[in-house]
Amino acid sequence: MNARAEKLVEKLEEPLIVTTPANVRYLTGFVSSNVSAVVEPERVRLFTDFRYAGAARAVPDVEFVETRRETIAHLAESLSGKFGFESTHLTYRAYEELRDGGLELVPRAGLVESLRAVKDEDELEKIRRAAAITDRAYERIAEERFVGRTERELAWRMTELFHELGADEEAFDTIVAAGANGARPHADPGDRVIERGTTIVVDAGAVLDGYCSDCTRTFATGELPDELRRAYDVCLEAQLKGLEAARSGAEAKQTDAAAREVIEEAGFGQNFGHGLGHGVGIDVHEAPHVASTSTDSLVANNVVTIEPGIYLEGTGGIRIEDLVIITNGEPEVVSSFAKELMTVS
Ligand code: ZN
Ligand code: ZN
């Protein structure tokens, strides 16, 4: 059994059926969309079908069990007794199948996720490298022309740059939101042609060796209206305050509050309608959550984003997002692309 599985076992009150692919990956290194792992005090069993059998056999420290395509049906037939299951992932149908197979089922949530929230050095290095690719993609795109191209063209260009720079894939669909569209935090890039004198929010991340990065920068295409210009300065100040408050021992909601106060005091409180940040790792959104509603505390080796935004309906948006590693002192900011307002042509 490897060290990650051992740590999980320490937290278990009964054996756990792990069905979330990212959790199976974390515990065993095995990547498949059709897999279950059963973690018991003495062993980890990996259940998957013929298509993945070769790869599964090569996984160290686990017992591989080949199943039919219906992995859950196999578990229902072969397991008996009391098991925890991942209540945020297992479908109701799969739950019924296991229950009808005679298993006593206990809903569990966040067990593997809380382990994943604290990265080891190997994971941190992968995230640093994914972030470095993202920085270079921003450097390259900032040299290009924005005005006259569409949001969709620029989003596609970021995708191309990620591939050119050696990323495995994008961590999520790149957001390019120009002008009034920038007031929507998760805008889909459209056929809107980018004009002069506004802001462009670009939110993008790369995946490298299974780990994500996440970065947002807001560019200006020439002189901005006063309110947008002021919003940028406020957002940057809030972002820096958020970074200062992002350290081991802080409650995540306090970190959120440190940034939010700056925005509220500047009169933009109503224009920042999302949390300050989120954990990043195998998934681009994972624990811990950095928001006013969060009950998480930050600990060393959490990897989180600090991403305040100010969204001005009908005018434009600003968001500045860094990826950081929490330490006992100042966070290690792994996004290095400049944050001062940059004017693009
Ligand atoms: Zn982002
Ligand atoms: Zn983010």
Separation of 284 CA from ligand 2 center, angstroms?
Answer: 7
**Structural domain containing residue 60:** 3-116
Ligand nearest to the backbone CA of 203 = 1
Quick one: pLDDT at residue 73?
A: 96
Share of the chain above pLDDT 90, in %: 98
* pLDDT tens profile 263-298: 999 999 999 999 999 999 999 999 999 999 999 999
Residues 174 and 301 in one domain: yes
Pick the last residue of a domain from 90, 116, 142. Answer: 116
Residue 187 pLDDT level (bands cut at 50, 70, 90): confident
Residue 42 pLDDT level (bands cut at 50, 70, 90): very high
Residues 270 and 126 in one domain: yes
Separation of 204 CA from ligand 1 center, angstroms?
Answer: 6
Separation of 107 CA from ligand 2 center, angstroms?
Answer: 29
Residues 66 and 109 in one domain: yes
What is the Cα gyration radius of the chain? Answer: 22
Beta bridge partners of 218: 201
H or E element at residue 27: helix 21-28
Instruction: Give the dihedral of Cα atoms 253, 256, 261, 262; nearest 10 deg.
Output: 160
SS3 298: coil
Hey, how many other C-beta atoms are within 10 angstroms of the C-beta on 147? 16
Residues 129 and 242 in one domain: yes
Residues 91 and 149 in one domain: no
Q: Mean pLDDT throughout 211-233?
A: 97
Beta bridge partners of 309: 319
What stretches of the chain adopt beta strand conformation (E)?
16-18, 35-39, 44-49, 63-67, 82-86, 104-108, 169-170, 175-178, 199-204, 206-208, 211-212, 215-220, 277-279, 286-290, 303-306, 309-312, 316-319, 322-325, 332-333, 342-343
Separation of 284 CA from ligand 1 center, angstroms?
Answer: 8
Instruction: Give the dihedral of Cα atoms 325, 279, 298, 110; nearest 10 deg.
Output: -140
Separation of 307 CA from ligand 2 center, angstroms?
Answer: 7
Separation of 204 CA from ligand 2 center, angstroms?
Answer: 9
Quick one: pLDDT at residue 203?
A: 98
Beta bridge partners of 206: 170
Ligand nearest to the backbone CA of 303 = 2
Q: Mean pLDDT throughout 219-231?
A: 97
Residues 256 and 283 in one domain: yes
Separation of 86 CA from ligand 2 center, angstroms?
Answer: 25
Residues 160 and 103 in one domain: no
Q: Name the packing angle between helices 226-244 and 252-265 (round to 10°).
A: 150
| Length of the chain, in residues | 345
Residues 98 and 232 in one domain: no
Residues 155 and 287 in one domain: yes
The DSSP secondary-structure symbol of 297 reads B
Q: Is the per-residue pLDDT at 18 higher than 90?
A: yes
* pLDDT tens profile 314-326: 999 999 999 999 9
How many domains is the chain partitioned into structurally?
A: 2
Residues 156 and 112 in one domain: no
- Residue 104 corresponds to which tokens in the numbers above? 């006593």
CA atoms in the 13 A half-sphere facing the CB of 128: 11
CA atoms of 290 and 275, how far apart (whole Å): 6
Residues 171 and 44 in one domain: no
Residues 125 and 110 in one domain: no
Pick the last residue of a domain from 116, 139, 162. Answer: 116
Pick the last residue of a domain from 58, 81, 116. Answer: 116
Quick one: pLDDT at residue 297?
A: 98
Q: Residue 318 sits in a domain of what CATH number?
A: 3.90.230.10
Quick one: pLDDT at residue 218?
A: 98
Separation of 148 CA from ligand 2 center, angstroms?
Answer: 27
Quick one: pLDDT at residue 51?
A: 94
Strands in 63-67's sheet, in edge-to-edge order, are 63-67, 44-49, 35-39, 16-18, 82-86, 104-108
| Bond into 107 cis (ω within 30) | no
Residues 6+ away with beta carbon under 8 Å from 265: none
pTM: predicted TM-score of the whole model, two decimal places:
0.95
Q: Residue 55 sits in a domain of what CATH number?
A: 3.40.350.10
Separation of 305 CA from ligand 2 center, angstroms?
Answer: 6
Residues near ligand 1 ion, CB 5 Å cutoff: 203, 214, 216, 321
Quick one: pLDDT at residue 186?
A: 86
Beta bridge partners of 220: 199, 343
